[in-house]
């Protein structure tokens, strides 16, 4: 599915949303630390998760999958095999960074292939911390060579101005140790590190059976369509406040109904302009930009600097979409995006999507609401929502 043609029009749909890859990848690392059986139910099958599962198998972990239930049966580094294992974790940030933190527990040498996308995304702060903890790390253009084990300290300070994933990587890999992880300059995505700490807390209490909840980042796309004149019902819904993106429901609480595990989004009135601090819910910004483009007047999405370090420069790419669909907008020096919505529809658009799943899904929203279009490189949605186009067809 390299390209998808999107037909415009009203959408009335009942659907299910994938479970959270953020939860799943954190739980996979925790499961890799214990020799006891570790069970994860309601696993998602996004490429970010399946790539991490495949890498864990390559380093010797015994993993059994039955339906959407995954069981880890042994632990790392006790399961280590031969040195010079070559791993290809793909283009996922959590996949690659969490894997690197785990590999540093081992005594063998591992070579990690960095995808084109990951080779240009921030990694130096994590490498600095690994070196500080006595881990051998050598980075070439697209290969990261790692050989542990850690030389533990009571506390390690991690820079958080670009991503909390560095701190989460070390916290998860050392969840059974006494090292404290402290973050400096924590500007964005604070709740993701809180999620890490919450799961570690349960792990330390002895919990070995977890269920992955619905992913609120993925929910934002059908939610946005329901909010802008559609009729959407999301099955198997349950609120999860550990996910920062659950704030979406707070922003538009007057237009939803939750009853017996079904979330209904159906809005027939004009929305008022909004002003939202997005620093802790950056993954909502693409869908929020679409929503704002359909609200008459000026809305403001604030504190978007963290989007510069995603799969693409997502600020730039959102603005590219707004331009393609003739939406007036302005980016301030403080990374606040002003969007002036209107009821005017643009024409048919062909969008050559970068390797960014969220931009492909956002382009779909714009095309559905306007006059249709074609998304090139549409298959990148597999990173988080493999059945996206089928679910919203």
Give the tens place of pLDDT for each residue, 349-387.
999 999 999 999 999 999 999 999 999 999 999 999 999
Last residue within a domain, chosen from 169, 185, 211? 211
Given the DSSP bridges, would you call strands 109-113 and 69-72 parallel, antiparallel or unpaired? unpaired
- Pair 63, 195 in one domain: yes
Instruction: Work out the pLDDT band at 307, boundaries 50, 70, 90.
Output: confident
In this structure, are 110 and 227 located in the same domain?
Answer: no
pLDDT at res. 308: 84
Q: Give the domain extent around 300.
A: 3-18+214-391
Do both 148 and 235 map to the same domain? Answer: no
* Same domain as 47, residue 12: no
- Domain termination site, one of 211, 238, 268: 211
| 3-state SS class at 185 | coil
Predicted TM-score (pTM) of the model is 0.92
Q: Identify the DSSP state of 236.
A: S
Q: Assess whether pLDDT exceeds 90 at residue 159.
A: no
Quick one: how far is CA 350 from the chain centroid? Answer: 26
Pairing of strands 109-113, 85-87: parallel
Q: Report d(CA 27, CA 204) in Å as an integer.
A: 13
Helices (H), ranges, 211-356:
216-227, 247-251, 285-293, 314-324
52, 178: one domain: yes
Pairwise CA distance, residues 43 & 41, whole Å: 6
Q: What is the count of structural domains for the chain? A: 2
Are residues 14 and 163 located together in one domain of the fold? no
Mark whether 37 and 50 lie in a shared domain. Answer: yes
**Domain CATH number, residue 342:** 3.65.10.10
| 7 and 133 belong to one structural domain | no
Return the pLDDT at 21. 95
Render pLDDT for 59-104 as a digit per residue (tens, 0 to 9): 999 999 999 999 999 999 999 987 779 999 998 889 999 999 999 9
On whether both 196 and 243 belong to a single domain, the answer is no
Last residue of a domain, one of 211, 242, 261: 211
Q: Tell me what the mean pLDDT of segment 139-148 comes to.
A: 92
**pLDDT, the chain, mean:** 93
Closest-CA residue to 356 (of 285, 275, 276): 285
For the beta carbon of residue 147, count every other beta carbon within 10 angstroms: 18
Whether 380 and 351 have beta carbons less than 8 Å apart is answered as no
Of 23, 32, 95, the residue nearest 59 (C-alpha): 32
The whole-angstrom separation of Cα 27 and Cα 38 is 9
Q: Are residues 120 and 257 in the same domain?
A: no
Nearest to 189 by CA among 334, 24, 297, 303: 303
181 plus 219 within the same structural domain: no
């Amino acid at each position: 599915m390299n390209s998808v043609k999107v037909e415009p029009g009203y959408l009335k749909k009942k659907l299910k949303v994938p479970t959270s890859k953020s939860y799943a990848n954190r739980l996979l690392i925790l499961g890799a630390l214990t020799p006891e059986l570790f069970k994860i139910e309601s696993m998602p099958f996004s490429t970010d998760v399946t790539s991490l599962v495949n890498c864990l198998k390559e380093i010797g972990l015994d993993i059994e999958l039955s339906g959407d239930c995954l069981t880890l049966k042994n632990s790392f580094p006790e399961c280590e095999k031969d040195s010079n294992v070559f791993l290809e974790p793909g283009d996922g940030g959590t996949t690659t960074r969490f894997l690197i933190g785990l590999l540093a527990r081992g005594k063998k040498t591992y070579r990690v292939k960095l995808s084109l996308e990951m080779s240009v995304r921030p990694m130096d702060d994590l490498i600095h911390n690994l070196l500080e903890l006595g881990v051998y790390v050598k980075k070439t253009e697209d290969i990261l060579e790692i050989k542990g084990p850690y030389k533990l300290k009571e506390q390690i300070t991690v820079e958080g101005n670009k991503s909390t994933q560095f701190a989460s990587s070390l916290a998860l890999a050392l969840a059974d140790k006494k090292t404290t992880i402290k973050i400096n300059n924590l500007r964005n995505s604070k709740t993701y590190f809180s999620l890490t700490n919450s799961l570690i807390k349960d792990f330390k209490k002895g919990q070995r059976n977890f269920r992955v909840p619905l992913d609120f980042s993925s929910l934002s796309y059908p939610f946005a369509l329901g909010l802008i004149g559609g009729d959407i019902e999301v099955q198997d819904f349950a609120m999860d406040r550990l996910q920062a993106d659950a704030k979406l429901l707070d922003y538009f609480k007057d237009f939803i109904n939750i009853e017996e595990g079904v979330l209904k989004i159906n809005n027939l009135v004009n929305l008022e302009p909004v002003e939202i601090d997005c620093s802790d819910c950056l993954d909502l910004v693409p869908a929020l930009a679409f929503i704002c483009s359909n609200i008459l007047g000026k809305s403001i999405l604030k504190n978007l600097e963290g989007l510069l370090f995603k799969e693409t420069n997502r600020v730039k790419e959102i603005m590219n979409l707004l331009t393609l669909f003739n939406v007036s907008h302005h980016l301030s020096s403080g990374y606040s995006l002003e969007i002036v919505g209107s009821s005017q529809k643009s024409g048919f658009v062909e969008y050559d999507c970068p390797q960014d799943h969220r931009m492909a899904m956002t382009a779909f929203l714009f095309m559905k609401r306007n006059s249709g279009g074609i998304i090139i490189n549409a298959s990148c949605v597999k990173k988080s929502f493999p059945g996206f186009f089928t679910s919203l067809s």
